[in-house]
């Protein structure tokens, strides 16, 4: 007679620890650390703490050399605390909400170093999410954010001489004049998002499509500051098709994105810098430097003169000041990305050819006295890439404007913003 072995159950630890790493030329390198408390107060609730440590936190010259971001040190650093309840059904909302609703509350501090400026954000998010069926869901929520933006030193921030010129970069007028943006803004915005997802894999799809439509209302009636009110629409569509049986011949993907944001008050004719659309670099327009598609502003280069003081750098003839271009984003965005990825060596090394087309528009309604065309034509770039899938795909890409390839005339801004080196990024394919 066989005896049944006793059933052994082992409860999973309530604490989960995770680590991650990522890099691309647009945001720099980062190390991620996460701590999650499972089943917090029962019913599958979770409590999460996340840390994203980029160059702004680690400040490592060695890592900065290994993972370059071009002429500027770029970095995104954040500290996040979040609470999630997958079965949110408070008694007073039972008759209104669907049967399955997920609630998430998140508080975060984010520090972003972009080109010539530094952004510090304090953000509170609350959202409700529920499925309509197996492929569609709705998300509604509220974002409260305070942002401070200031210029960073165009020379080496780590030199002892920085104190001699710190006052120049702490002057908010220099940034305001270059970007047409307030140095401080407060945004209080309810939003709604509709998502339809039929992809076979959300990280590296080979078939299916993804549709996302998000509307955000940052009005003064909700607490938005008078210099920052706006209405924003962000619509995205991606299709993915396999080539051959089970994508043995590769994957074709087509992505479309349209963004529009309109100021809603006479005191906010320009959007805050942090709320504008940007394009250029990995994941957007790969024929230009990160964020350099569309409108550009400028600030003077600073160099040390014979008296040991920093002053604007002049042209060789000494008649004009040399300026550094910085992207300032815009109220409108159009992007089209067509990719064909195919295996080269097994499922580990893939090749890629792509065509990107896009443009960022400074304003949705042109200024009466505008000297340039309000809606410049779309830029088009062709490129090649290599994808190495070692758990996390590593992409090495290079793209160039079609006009540059064909030797056709280009504008001075197009030439100044063209991609100068390879784009290297680590992360999943979307």
- With contact defined as beta carbons under 8 Å apart, do 118 and 75 qualify? no
Taking only the tens place, the pLDDT of each residue in 344-388 is: 999 899 999 999 999 999 988 766 555 555 688 999 999 999 999
In a domain, 5, yes or no: no
Number of domains in the chain: 1
In a domain, 218, yes or no: yes
Q: What is the mean pLDDT of residues 340-346?
A: 95
Tokens (6 digits) for 5: 């072995």
pLDDT score of 167 more than 80: no
Lowest mean pLDDT among 182-186, 211-215, 249-253: 182-186
Lowest mean pLDDT among 3-7, 134-138, 341-345: 3-7
pLDDT at 268: 55
pLDDT score of 267 more than 60: no
Give 173 or 142, the one with higher predicted confidence: 142
What's the domain range around 41? 23-426
User: Sorting pLDDT into bands at 50, 70 and 90, what band is 204?
Assistant: confident
User: Which of the residue ranges 174-188, 210-224, 352-366 has the most confident prediction, judged by mean pLDDT?
Assistant: 210-224
Within 8 A by CB and 6+ apart from 12, the residues are: 38
User: Sorting pLDDT into bands at 50, 70 and 90, what band is 156?
Assistant: very low
Percent of the chain residues past pLDDT 70, beyond the cut: 82
Which domain CATH number covers 383? 2.40.160.50
In a domain, 15, yes or no: no
Taking only the tens place, the pLDDT of each residue in 54-101 is: 999 999 999 999 999 887 889 999 999 999 999 987 776 777 778 889
In a domain, 67, yes or no: yes
| Cβ neighbours, 10 Å, residue 80 | 17
How far, in Å, CA of 385 to CA of 319, rounded? 43
Q: What is the mean pLDDT of residues 170-188?
A: 75
3-state SS, the chain, equals CCCCCCCCCCCCCCEEEEEEEEEECCCEEEEEEEEEECCCCCCCCEEEEEEEEEHHHHCCHHHHHHCCCCCCCCEEEEEEEEEEECCCCCHHHCCCCCCCCEEEEEEEEEEEEECCEEEEEEEEEEEEEEECCCCEEEEEEEEEEEEEEEECCCCCCCCCCHHHHHHHHHCHHHHHHHHCCCCEEEEEEEEEEEEEECCCCCCCCCCEEEEEEEEEEECHHHCCCCCCCEEEEEEEEEEEEEECHHHCCEEEEEEEEEEEEEECCHHHCCCCHHHCECCCCCCCCCCECCCCCCCEEEEECEEECCCCCEEECECCCCCCECEEEEECCECEEEEEEEEEEEEEECCCEEEEEEEEEEEEECCCCCCCCCCCCCCCCCEEEEEEEEEEEECEEEEEEEEEEHHHHHCCCCCHHHHHHECCCCEEEECCCC
In a domain, 29, yes or no: yes
In a domain, 101, yes or no: yes
- With contact defined as beta carbons under 8 Å apart, do 345 and 359 qualify? no
Q: What is the mean pLDDT of residues 140-156?
A: 81
Q: Is the pTM of this model over 0.75?
A: yes
In a domain, 205, yes or no: yes
Taking only the tens place, the pLDDT of each residue in 309-334 is: 656 666 667 667 677 788 889 999 99
In a domain, 12, yes or no: no
Give the mean pLDDT of the chain. Answer: 86
User: Sorting pLDDT into bands at 50, 70 and 90, what band is 108?
Assistant: very high
């Amino acid at each position: 007679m066989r005896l049944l072995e006793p059933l052994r159950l082992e409860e999973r630890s309530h604490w989960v620890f995770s680590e991650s790493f990522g890099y691309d030329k647009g945001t720099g390198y980062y190390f991620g650390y996460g701590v999650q408390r499972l089943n917090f107060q029962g019913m599958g609730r979770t409590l999460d703490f996340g840390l994203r440590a980029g160059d702004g936190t680690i400040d490592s010259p060695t890592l900065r050399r290994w993972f370059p971001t071009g002429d500027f040190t770029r970095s995104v650093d954040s500290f996040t605390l979040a609470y999630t309840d997958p079965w949110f059904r408070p008694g007073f909302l039972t008759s209104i909400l669907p049967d399955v609703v997920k609630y998430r509350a998140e508080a975060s501090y984010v520090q972003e170093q972009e080109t010539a400026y530094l952004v510090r954000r304090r953000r509170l998010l609350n959202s409700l999410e529920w499925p309509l069926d197996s492929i569609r869901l709705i998300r509604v929520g509220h974002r409260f954010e305070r942002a401070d933006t200031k210029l960073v030193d165009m020379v080496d921030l780590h030199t002892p001489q920085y104190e001699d010129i710190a006052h120049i970069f702490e002057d908010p007028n220099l940034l305001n004049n270059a970007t047409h943006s307030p140095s401080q803004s407060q945004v209080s915005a309810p939003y709604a998002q509709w998502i339809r997802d039929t992809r076979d894999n959300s990280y590296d799809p080979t078939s299916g499509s993804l549709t996302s439509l998000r509307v955000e209302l940052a009005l003064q009636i909700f607490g938005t500051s008078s210099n920052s009110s706006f209405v924003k629409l962000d619509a995205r569509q991606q299709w993915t098709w396999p080539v051959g049986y089970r994508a043995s011949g590769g994957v074709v993907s087509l992505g479309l994105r349209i963004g529009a944001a309109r100021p809603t008050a006479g005191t906010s004719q320009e959007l805050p810098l942090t709320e504008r659309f940007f394009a250029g670099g990995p994941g957007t327009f790969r024929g230009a430097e990160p964020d350099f598609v569309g409108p550009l502003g400028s600030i003077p280069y600073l160099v040390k003169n014979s008296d040991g003081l920093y002053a604007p750098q002049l042209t060789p003839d000494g008649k004009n000041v040399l300026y550094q271009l910085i992207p300032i984003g815009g109220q409108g965005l159009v992007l089209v990305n067509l990719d064909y990825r195919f295996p080269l060596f097994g499922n580990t090394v893939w090749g890629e050819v792509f065509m990107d087309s896009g443009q960022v528009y400074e304003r949705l309604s042109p200024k009466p006295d505008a000297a340039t065309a309000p809606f410049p034509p779309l830029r088009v770039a062709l490129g090649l890439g290599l994808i190495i899938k070692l758990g996390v795909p590593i992409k090495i890409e290079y793209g160039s404007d079609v006009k540059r390839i064909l030797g056709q005339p280009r504008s001075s801004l197009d030439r100044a913003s063209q991609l100068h080196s390879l784009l290297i990024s680590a992360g999943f394919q979307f």
